[in-house]
Amino acid sequence: MPSRKFADGEVVMGRWPGSVLYYEVQVTSYDDVAHLYTVKYKDGTELALKESDIRSQSSFKHRKSQSSSSSPSRRSSSRSRSRSRSPGRPAKGRRRSASQSREHKDDKKKAIQETSLALVVLVLFKPSENNTKRYNGEPESTEKNDTSCIILEQKLKPDLEVKRVLEQYSLRSRKDDKKTEEIFSEKKTFVAVKPIEKVSSKTKELEFGGRIGTFMLVFLLPATVFYLLLMCKQDDPSLLNIPPLPALDSLWEWRVFGVFLLWFFLQAVFYLLPIGKVVEGLPLSNGRKLQYRINGFYAFILTAAAIGVLLYFQFELHYLYDHFMQFAVSAAAFSLALSIYLYVRSLKAPEEELAPGGNSGYFIYDFFTGHELNPRIGSFDLKYFCELRPGLIGWVVINLAMLLAEMKIHDLSMPSLSMTLVNSFQLLYVVDALWNEEAILTTMDITHDGFGFMLAFGDLVWVPFVYSLQAFYLVGHPTAITWPVAAAITVLNCIGYYIFRSANSQKNNFRRNPADPKLANLKFIPTATGKGLLVTGWWGFVRHPNYLGDIIMALAWSLPCGFNHILPYFYVIYFICLLVHREARDEHHCKQKYGLAWERYCQRVPYRIFPYVY
């Protein structure tokens, strides 16, 4: 086994992931299992780097004459250009004449060249404090989201262009020309191997209360589901009216378990159908990109058709209501078995395929959070499948079963207004998630969390059985609401949905194509990773506007249940806790990713979810 090349505390040049930029970093530790160095950038960002992405400072020494002639002036030129592209600039540009426009193009070209040069200078020379700040995440000003800024933000130009600049100014590292070739040929592969997270190594910071917390959650989560369902079945579901424990043998029925398995495997068959496009996920730590078939919406349509056929043949869907608890127990047993299988198979998974957040080495923690990032059987991605299919589609089927049960039990020719609202709102939410299925590929669940008990139980039990609590409640506790109240609740849901959808779309579109003309009015803070952080639009309103919209919708789902009991409000209370915790986790990751740029963003946008409150 080769020994490490760089010592702890040594100041070296570390490559910024996904770019050819090298910054001064300090080695803080070395993981001799994963062969990764943890390095700290000047802005406080910590990353794990391979030895091949680290160079000694001496290899970046330059020729004196070139240093003085090119670096300072070029650098300032680049920076002033950068500043000049702040707000207001494009409006002027639109008024330009043809010749001015040509001039502008030339200008732009020059700007690109100078920017590249400045960056190359910055890359190959030891950066001064100011420059480090400018390019390592602390902008002097925000950038207007026009194409030229994107070029500035992206920092990288086609290899040949940068190479030409390098040759012209002889700014290569001293080693030899081959090194430069290496950097640029590596760039292509490196862009491909850009890690989405800290390259897999041991998880040091434990979340969810660490080992004790996760141990308790393994029992607490199922207990909560069963307690809620038992409460909801009672005539008086008040908090103080503790439900009696049911007989154990009443909780299990093989037929119900069989129906659950049938449901799960039917969804698996739909998932395997060769319909819908195939897209690539974000690059993994080893550079590979997994492929995902986007056909959740088709699966939903097929499921709707299957349910339609069942109803046509008089299948009594309220069977689900009658055996609701047994279905929940079946789903919980299945998710537990799945989690055990996932943990056992993860023990054989290569280190690089383990989840950044679930590789602590502690059994219970890794079992709970998920040890393996993307467990697959062939091309069947277990986590991706469970995230949106059996549980989410199952949720709307359960809601429909509750609606039919309500009509049957209360002998109604039409479902109640409250039940109609709850079903419609939640149907909209699920259809939206399936329609935008691709967006899930960039979420924390896919990129950071492994597949373990937390997600298996969450996807297969918590979502379908807890999220349908309002519909379940309404069957046993009819609540009459007037049309004006229904209209007001509908408006609230629409407001929530509008914020949720437009915030998510704004960010997704910006991430997919920052040069999108539709986003031209938005401002962003550039960061050292090449990605910008939006500071206007929804993401300038609060730091997680999508969570705000989601919470408003959650409230609208509970309101049709009236105010007699707090039980139907469990969802909105729990959801606020979940999103506040999730927001804190995301902030932590973003701070690690973006360093000072993130702090700057937090200064610009001080509220996390609720404006002027939190």
Three-state DSSP at 58 gives helix
Distance CA 265, CA 259 (A): 10
Phi/psi at 421 (nearest 5 deg)?
-65, -50
Residue 500 binds ligand NDP, judged by CB under 6 A:
yes
437: contact with ligand NDP by CB under 6 A: no
Under the binding rule (CB under 6 A), the answer on residue 135 touching ligand NDP is: no
Largest CA distance in the chain: 91
Is 531 a residue that touches ligand NDP (CB under 6 A)? yes
Tokens of 151: 């070029």
Give me 228's structure tokens: 């809620």
Q: What tokens were used for 103?
A: 């001039």
Enumerate the H helices of 174-209 as residue ranges.
Answer: 177-192
Among 156, 290, 533, 609, binds ligand NDP (CB under 6 A): 533
Please, which residue, 172 or 544, has the CB nearer to ligand NDP?
544
- List 382, 550, 595, 600, residue binding ligand NDP (CB under 6 A): 550
CB-nearer residue toward ligand NDP: 23 or 539: 539
Smallest distance, ligand NDP to C-beta of residue 71, A: 31
Contact status, residue 5 vs residue 51, Cβ threshold 8 Å: yes
Residue 367 binds ligand NDP (CB under 6 A): no
Distance CA 544, CA 534 (A): 11
Task: Check binding of 399 to ligand NDP (CB under 6 A).
Answer: no
504 near ligand NDP, rule: CB under 6 A: yes
Contacts of 361 (CB under 8 A, 6+ apart): 202
Provide the minimum distance between the beta carbon of 304 and ligand NDP in the complex, in angstroms, as a whole number. Answer: 21
Among 30, 395, 547, 571, interactor with ligand NDP by CB under 6 A: 547
Provide, rounded to whole angstroms, the least separation between the CB of residue 188 and ligand NDP: 22
Figure out which of the listed residues 175, 376, 582, 604 binds ligand NDP, where binding follows CB under 6 A. Answer: 582
Question: Segment contacting ligand NDP (CB under 6 A): 69-77, 355-363, 532-540, 564-572?
Answer: 532-540
| Contact flag: residue 472 with ligand NDP (CB under 6 A) | no
Please, which residue, 406 or 586, has the CB nearer to ligand NDP? Answer: 586
Q: Alpha carbon 472 to chain centroid distance?
A: 30
**Residue position matching structure tokens 């969450």:** 458
One character per residue 592-611, x = contact with ligand NDP (rule: CB under 6 A): ---------x----------
Rounded to 5 degrees, φ, ψ at 291 are: -100, 145
d(C-alpha 563, C-alpha 365), whole Å: 39
Shortest reach from residue 552's CB to ligand NDP, in Å: 11
If binding is defined by CB under 6 A, does position 511 make contact with ligand NDP? yes
Complete edge-to-edge strand list for the sheet that includes strand 11-15: 46-50, 36-41, 22-31, 11-15, 54-55
Using the rule CB under 6 A, which residue among 488, 492, 590, 602 binds ligand NDP?
590
Which 8-state DSSP code applies to residue 142?
A: P
Residue 180 C-beta: closest distance to ligand NDP, Å:
30
Contact 132, 121 (CB under 8 A): no
The alpha carbon dihedral of 301, 304, 310, 312 has a sign of: negative
Q: Which is nearer to ligand NDP, 128 or 443 (CB)?
A: 443
User: In the 8-state DSSP scheme, what is residue 245?
Assistant: P
CA pair distance 425, 493, nearest whole angstrom: 7
| Sole window of 164-172, 332-340, 377-385, 526-534 interacting with ligand NDP (rule: CB under 6 A) | 526-534
Of 135-143, 176-184, 301-309, 527-535, which segment contacts ligand NDP by CB under 6 A?
A: 527-535
Q: Does 538 bind ligand NDP (CB under 6 A)?
A: no
Q: Does position 304 bind ligand NDP by CB under 6 A?
A: no
Asked whether position 539 contacts ligand NDP by CB under 6 A, the answer is yes
Sequence-distant (6+) residues with CB within 8 A of 358 are 203, 365, 366, 369, 370, 371, 372, 373, 449, 450, 452
User: Residue 114 Cβ, how far from ligand NDP at the closest point, in Å?
Assistant: 27
Binding flag, residue 143, ligand NDP (CB under 6 A):
no
| Residue 507 interacts with ligand NDP (CB under 6 A): yes or no | yes
If one asks whether residue 443 binds ligand NDP (CB under 6 A), the answer comes out as yes
* Separation of alpha carbons 94 and 79, rounded Å: 23
**Residues at the contact surface with ligand NDP, assessed by CB under 6 A:** 443-444, 500, 504, 507, 510-511, 531, 533-534, 539, 544, 546-547, 550, 582, 586, 589-590, 601
